[in-house]
Amino acid sequence: MSFSEHSTSSLVEIFSAIQGEGLNVGTRQIFIRFGGCDLRCHFCDSAHTWTPKSSCRIEQSPGSREFCQQPNPVTMPQILQWLSWQDQPGVHDSISLTGGEPLLQATFLSHLLPQIRQQTSLPIYLETGGHHPKALGQVLPSLDSVGMDLKLPSVSGETYWEDHRRSLDLCHQAQVEVFCKLIISKGTTWEDLMTAAQLVATINPHIPLFLQPVTPLTPQHSVQPPAPEQVLTWQTDLKQICPHIRVVPQTHKALGQL
Ligand code: SF4
């Protein structure tokens, strides 16, 4: 009995959509969304991923939005089969591993990803909070790029500076493409932004850094985006440390995408 055939994973969904954030914005990706997250960010729009569910949903063909329900947990052969439903020639730019926090299932991923590599030539991109460097090291050999959501204490309520530094350094040493994203809100502090930018620049000032104004969960929600003038000031200040800084909101929400 091999690990690859019989180990299981908590899955939320597999579907095809336009990437709305960060360096890959506007590209078409196959999203594999894993269940489980050990953080509880105040702005989280994926709270349904936090705890394992008894079923997951699989889109039947790219962009059809016709889903079938499948029981959790799922096996690697199942994921590979559902991936093949999506992976039609000339449709996608890459595969996005997202969550939740995919690195909570790093051992499973370390076996799954080499099989995905054998099955498709699509690049593999990981979205992570960047707070599990040891787990990242397990899967890094199978990744083409990483998007890291650095957690600003003033926005997310979490503090992981040293884990972020180690995670970024691992990507840099492995020469895996990496970018960082900071969710910014009215409550963001200048000190947190400077700490994050200096951390990135210490590894490599040319790592792209994205400021993403938070999308409020509701009009009354306590976490609201910063004023436009404030965003301009922050970008100017941070550009002195990280020259490749861009401000990009969640475009998939404006497009009505998943
Ligand atoms: S890390 Fe991502 S999925 Fe987890 S709570 Fe934060 S925003 Fe939500």
Contacts of residue 85, Cβ cutoff 8 Å, sequence gap at least 6: 58, 59, 60, 61
Residue 247 is inside which H or E element, if any?
Answer: strand 245-247
- φ, ψ dihedrals at 15, nearest 5°: -160, 170
Q: How many helices (H) and strands (E) does the chain have?
A: 9, 12
Q: In this predicted structure, what is the pLDDT of residue 42?
A: 83
> Do 204 and 172 contact (CB within 8 A), yes or no?
yes
pLDDT for position 35: 96
Q: Which residues contact 175 (CB under 8 A, 6 or more apart)?
A: none
The whole-number pLDDT of residue 3 equals 65
Cβ 128 under 6 angstroms from ligand 1: no
Calculate how far, in angstroms, residue 173's C-alpha sits from the geometric centre of ligand 1. 26
Q: What pLDDT is recorded for position 108? A: 96
Rounded Cα gap, residues 205 and 241, in angstroms: 7
Q: What is the pLDDT along the chain (258 residues), one digit of tens a residue?
A: 466 666 899 999 999 999 999 999 999 999 999 999 999 888 888 899 999 899 999 999 999 999 999 999 999 999 999 999 999 999 999 999 999 999 999 999 999 999 999 999 999 999 999 999 999 999 999 999 999 999 988 877 778 999 999 999 999 999 999 999 999 999 999 999 999 999 999 999 999 999 999 887 777 787 788 999 999 999 999 999 999 999 998 888 888 877
Query: 65 exposed, middle or buried (CB, 10 Å; 0-12, 13-18, 19+)?
Result: exposed
Q: What is the pTM of this model?
A: 0.95
Tell me the one-letter amino acid at 211.
L
DSSP string, 174-190: HT-EEEEEEEE-TT--H
pLDDT at residue number 4: 63
Atom of ligand 1 nearest to the CA of 100: 3
From the CB of 40, is ligand 1 less than 6 Å away?
yes
221 in Cβ contact with 258 (< 8 Å): no
E strand spans, 6-155: 8-9, 11-18, 28-34, 55-59, 67-71, 74-75, 94-98, 124-128, 145-149
Pairwise CA distance, residues 149 & 156, whole Å? 10
Assigned CATH class of 3-254: alpha beta
Name the token pair of 156.
Answer: 């997310």
- Which among 39, 182, 185, 223 is the best mutation to test ligand 1's pocket, defined by most ligand atoms within 8 Å of the CB? 39
| Cα torsion 72, 77, 81, 82: sign | positive
- Amino acid code (one letter) for 105: Q
Q: Cβ of 93: how many Cβ atoms within 10 Å?
A: 16
What's the pLDDT score for residue 252?
83
